[in-house]
Structure 1
Amino acid sequence: MALYDQVADLPLEIESCAFETHERETSSEFTRVTTEIVLRGAGETGRGEDVTYDEDDQYALADAEFDLSDEYTLDEYSTHLAEQDLFPEGPSREDFRHYRRWGFESAALDLALRQADTDLPTVLGRTTLPVEFVVSTRLGDPPSAERVRQWLEIDPEIRFKLDATPEWSAELVSELTDTGNVRIVDLKAQYENTEVGQSADTDLYRRVRDGLPDVVMEDPAYTDETAPVLDPARDRISWDVPITDVESVESLPFEPKWLNIKPSRFGSVESLFDTLEYCEHHEIRLYGGGQFELSIGRGQIQLLASLFYPESPNDVAPREYNDPEPTDGLPTSPLAAPTVEGFRRL
């Protein structure tokens, strides 16, 4: 049975919909705002998280009203949701439509599982396993390895996913290599028209390719100019931003060996599950990605990692790792196999 078919027919009864706003400062020097979506019905509560980045979009949602009250199957609910405009104002970016829909879909999946008195691992026939994770961080402006050193003083075994910029020098790359703790370098070239986006940079790509020969290189700009630099490293090139469904995987410039799976980019449970199944069939290695989740969403992406790609360099560290300053005493990798209720890590 197809992965999605195992949850599509779950009965779902919704009586009310409410929202809870969360805010937190981050290590990337911005205030993160997310909204927890709370669906209630038949004496149970389902929760999901909208990870849309624009604060105004989030605050507008807090005052919105949606009449989702009805009895559905999960698939019927998803079809109904696709016909709704979930933004009372905006969105400021079109991809945020997927982010918000995922918040509503994940809340419904949680509610349907809880109403059926079961959980996601049981329904899918999969076992939760301990989850390896990396810490995602930027290296400042001008960039230095100081933040990496701060974390390594706390935990010498910690692993990293780092955001590269053109200012990364050969000396900095060499210093990062010497740690032996970098697993992924995010080149950010697929983030068009955003503050974090980077343009194609063959010199940077060459420095990372040669100076960090074992790391996964995420989201480069693959162009006629950069292809000669990137092609020798195809087996360790990964994609994140473009990946929203099976078709997006098939439309990549070459068949990938690695992909970053961020559930919010897919919008629907069906699209996510179909892509997970496709990648498993095509032997594409996956790792989980986060969106600075502040509430239920972080545990949900950790749960998915534990079921589908537990031994990968997952960017799903406990949310305290995104705080402005490194802190001692945090959970270390791997996270213990989660206890689960519905679609929640407890």
Structure 2
Amino acid sequence: MAPPTESLWPRLADLPLTVEACEYDRLHAAFPQDFERVTTHVRLIGAGVDGLGEDVSIHVEDGGSLHETQLELPLAGEWTLASFTDHLATLDPWVVPPEWEPARRWRNWAFESAALDLALRQAGRALHDVLGLEPQPVRFVNSLGLGEEPSADHVHRRLDRAPSVRFKLDAETTWSPELIDALAATGAVDTIDFKGHYGMEVKHPERLGALYDQLVAAFPDAYLEDPHDLPEITARLAGHVDRVSYDAPIHDADDIGATPLPARVVNVKPSRIGGVRELLEVYARCAAQQRPMYGGGMGELGVGRGQIELLAALFHPDAPNDVAPSVFHADDPADALPASPLPPRPDAIGFRWLT
């Protein structure tokens, strides 16, 4: 089933929404390399039910998270989903300004996804029902960095537990040719992420060109995500733009096609886009231009992970979606890992994925 080429926002915009209160809950998990992840559940309450979204903007608790500040915003009232999102755009949900400006979109997504969930629950309907789409099994990848001393062991441990799992790997100039060969031999890598649009310092920049040459050759079918915007890299990828994809530069529909390389593939991250209306416009633009899409997340720990899995099930199920269940985040995952594709598990009402 092809995704719709017109935005489905009109099917959601007029949903009635009653908001009486807002609460925040802290979520926490330990990730590999001693990385502590903290996010916040945003809970909107009204008419005897609640709606959930997840704010992924917190990397270190510095007094600015929603669960620390317990920020009170003027959200109560009778709305439509459209009028609520318009009202939300006039508010500043930040006591401490964010370190990264894109985090404003991440937090906005938490409130809008909670509002969407609440409006649907108050209506007694599910997202897929209102949109007129049938959820499909979701193909997913496990997104991985290979550590300070890169090793294919991270990949092999997961393949031993879940032979069907596929991978999105964060490329580093510290990768040796032998490591690249070992990764290619698995036949399980769908995406190479160069993270060339995050302003991150490149270790050993003199090796960057050779790294691209090696990876383009070793993974002839993999998507090449967020390549560095450098003349030498652009020249190396000139013959491979059909599999170049962009993630970090995509914030709304107008960013599609305005990327440094004329790439066709788009990684659609709901929290990066930041709004329900804008997200549906991105889906429609990609479908109208016949651009391959896949989904991505931002380290969600709670309801947000299921929400991006649900969106993938509706708009781009058979793609290398970076929406692996949270159990894959562990450095040494459990023996029983979910297989890909995930069977569709939309909740009977609301904007949630059953766990």
Q: Under TM normalisation by the shorter chain, which class is it?
A: over 0.9
Secondary structure, aligned partner of 1:274: helix
Distance, in Å, in 1 between the alignment partners of 2:269 and 2:127 is: 18
Structure 2 match to 1:3 = 8
Structure 1 match to 2:87 = 80
Q: CA deviation at 1:315?
A: 0.8
Q: Counterpart amino acid of 1:251?
A: A
Secondary structure, aligned partner of 2:293: strand
Q: Structure 1 residues 124 and 69 mapped into 2: Cα distance closer, same or farther (>3 Å)?
A: same
Structure 2 match to 1:214 = 221
Unaligned 5+ runs, structure 1: none
Cα RMSD over matched residues?
A: 1.8
Task: Give 1:14-29 correspondences, 5 Å limit.
Answer: 14-27=19-32, 29=34
Q: CA deviation at 1:324?
A: 2.7
Which one of 309, 313, 316 corresponds to residue 306 of structure 1? Answer: 313
Q: CA deviation at 1:105?
A: 0.3
Deviations 1:121-170 (A, max 9, x none): 01110001111111111111221111111112222222111111011122
- Once the two structures are overlaid, the 10-residue window that deviates more, 321-330 or 115-124, is 321-330
* 2:212 is the counterpart of 1:205: yes
Structure 2 match to 1:262 = 269
* 2:278 is the counterpart of 1:278: no
Q: Counterpart amino acid of 1:324?
A: D
Q: CA deviation at 1:199?
A: 6.6
Q: Structure 1 residues 84 and 198 mapped into 2: Cα distance closer, same or farther (>3 Å)?
A: farther
Structure 2 match to 1:241 = 248
Q: CA deviation at 1:28?
A: 5.0
For the 8 Å contact 1:27–1:137, the answer to whether it is kept is no
* 2:349 is the counterpart of 1:344: no
Distance, in Å, in 2 between the alignment partners of 1:286 and 1:254 is: 16
Q: Counterpart amino acid of 2:327?
A: E
Task: Give 1:104-253 correspondences, 5 Å limit.
Answer: 104-192=111-199, 201-253=208-260
Q: Percent identity?
A: 43
Secondary structure, aligned partner of 2:146: coil
Task: Give 1:49-68 correspondences, 5 Å limit.
Answer: 49-56=54-61, 60-62=65-67, 63=69, 64-68=71-75
* 2:42 is the counterpart of 1:37: yes
Q: Structure 1 residues 57 and 235 mapped into 2: Cα distance closer, same or farther (>3 Å)?
A: farther
Q: CA deviation at 1:55?
A: 2.3
For the 8 Å contact 2:174–2:203, the answer to whether it is kept is no
For the 8 Å contact 2:128–2:314, the answer to whether it is kept is yes
For the 8 Å contact 1:34–1:50, the answer to whether it is kept is yes
Task: Give 1:86-101 correspondences, 5 Å limit.
Answer: 86-101=93-108
Structure 2 match to 1:46 = 51
Q: CA deviation at 1:254?
A: 3.9
Q: Structure 1 residues 255 and 10 mapped into 2: Cα distance closer, same or farther (>3 Å)?
A: farther
Q: CA deviation at 1:175?
A: 1.0
Secondary structure, aligned partner of 1:141: coil
Which one of 303, 323, 344 corresponds to residue 316 of structure 1? Answer: 323
Q: CA deviation at 1:287?
A: 0.8
Distance, in Å, in 2 between the alignment partners of 1:103 and 1:197 is: 34
TM-score normalised to structure 2 length: 0.93
After TM superposition, the runs of 4+ consecutive aligned structure 1 residues lying more than 2 A away are 53-60, 195-201, 253-257
Unaligned 5+ runs, structure 2: 1-5
Q: Counterpart amino acid of 1:345?
A: W
Distance, in Å, in 2 between the alignment partners of 1:252 and 1:274 is: 17
Which one of 303, 317, 326 corresponds to residue 333 of structure 2? Answer: 326
For the 8 Å contact 1:34–1:58, the answer to whether it is kept is no
Q: Counterpart amino acid of 1:326?
A: P
Distance, in Å, in 2 between the alignment partners of 1:187 and 1:216 is: 11
Deviations 1:259-287 (A, max 9, x none): 11110001111111100000011111111
TM-score normalised to structure 1 length: 0.95
Secondary structure, aligned partner of 2:113: helix
Q: Structure 1 residues 168 and 89 mapped into 2: Cα distance closer, same or farther (>3 Å)?
A: same
Deviations 1:262-315 (A, max 9, x none): 100011111111000000111111111111111000000000000011110111
